[in-house]
Structure 1
Amino acid sequence: MIVTHNMVYLNTVNKLTKDEKNRSESMKKISSGLKINRAGDNAAGSSISSSLKAKILSLSRAQINVQEGLGVTGAVTKSLDAISNNNLGRLKEISMRAANDTSGSFDRRVAQGEIEQVLKDIDSTANSTKYNGKNLLAPPLQPISLQVGFKGEDTFKIELFDTTTSNIGLSGIDVLTSENALAAMDKIDNAIDIVSRYVSKAGSYESNLSYMSNSLSDYELKLTKSMSSIEDVDVAKESIQFTQYDIITQAAQALLVQANQRPEAVIQLLK
């Protein structure tokens, strides 16, 4: 009779080792909330998940870039509205008053003083409109390129506008005579048209960027859901699985005690 090798005991130990490993892996999934805690858990799933994570990070950065672009267009639109509604409207009112034959020379000199102050205000607004130190409405001007996706070609360009008085045709206007005031009115009307086009263009940039922001957000959400379906564990289901492993482990431990006692009983009989 061979009593050196207890096969029941060895088989039970082997089964117990596997069950304890499964129990440990199940507990790790429940604790982390993830089905994949290392590449070995699901090689294919881990590869897909890594790719999705990289895309999600890129989309998050693109979202930030778009928001910065909206910051640029917001600053531009605010200043353009101020120039168009406040300054140019005031210039038109003053020049119309000065063009009227009821205005005398003193009235026109006062009007000219107002004209010059408004022109200074326009240049001040243009020169002070910046984003992170970058001029937006006065030279030097360079288009702003935004990276709005994870591919190199996913860019969006914002053209900037020179709204200084010299560029919109208001340099040197005067209303000291009725004729000059009439000429000034024409120049002011032309400036109003130029700035209005700028306002429209800036508005289209803002609208496009807002649409991009929503699209990026939706795409990021879809990718996150896809990654969640790969990585996230069903806690309720895994808890049931853990309970099963726990019961099997306890049963194996009890069986292990019994299996270890059997050869000892045989040896006692042979004494």
Structure 2
Amino acid sequence: MDASRTPLPIVDKDRRLIALFAGHPPDDNWQDEHRSAADELEQARLKLFGKREAQEHRRGEFDTLRCGTSHGGGQREPSNLANSPKRTEVLERLNNHRVFKRLAGFASSVLCTWVPELYDYYTTYLGALYAGDHQLKRTFLSWIFTSTTYNLGPSTICFKHKDFANLPFGWCAVTALGDFDPKKGGHLVLWECGLVVEFPPGSTALLPSATISHSNTAIGAQEHRFSFTQYSAGALFRWVENGFKKATTFEASLTAVEKERRKQDNTARFLKGLGFFPILRSSTST
């Protein structure tokens, strides 16, 4: 299967949309545009890490650079991700690059168009989050997500994994970049769906990354692959739902009846989230 400029929806047996290969923005010069973004990521990698071998971690063997608003992993409350002065300088250049701004807006508009109820859920909770704490900063103005990771490669090939810290029924956006042959490598693998999909440089895919195991196939030894990912931590939504308090503090304030109601709500939470995924009348089925 080929993720081309035409959107490719992936649905389950009930025709529920569970992932989307969105293609790329309508632009006859898009090849030049996405290559300039890849060049920026290569320059960022060289500036921060030089020519040393990339470090292996849970998701693969490639260098990364993160920014945005997050919560969890020891954080007592939502905060902006901290970076060294050198990394901050590189991030400011990347975040102000016209292509990454455009990709941020494109992914958000795709989510709004294809999964509008989930988009509205993000708008409600994340809007309240930022309105309640003006120290929290959005990386991109035309953005529904809260965090981004620039995967600097030079060979960004992800191991099979799930992004457990993300909102369980939330979606993340992944844009492939680089100079690899998408017919020979760099495919996106959706394991529970049994799919291996061509994922060309410059194209964007959206999927519930905390729920569907995903990875990439290898690329050639002389090829380069980068990626630009956008996502939101599940703990941010829980923080808002808990009245801008830690779960333990919030639960300690509840009555026995309220605790039972909360337990029932938690049990039904994923089904409620799944209900945000639209049923399509006709699409490519898994």
TM-score, scaled to structure 2: 0.19
Q: Which of structures 1 and 2 has the bigger CA Rg?
A: 1
Higher relative contact order (CA 8 A, sep 6+): 1
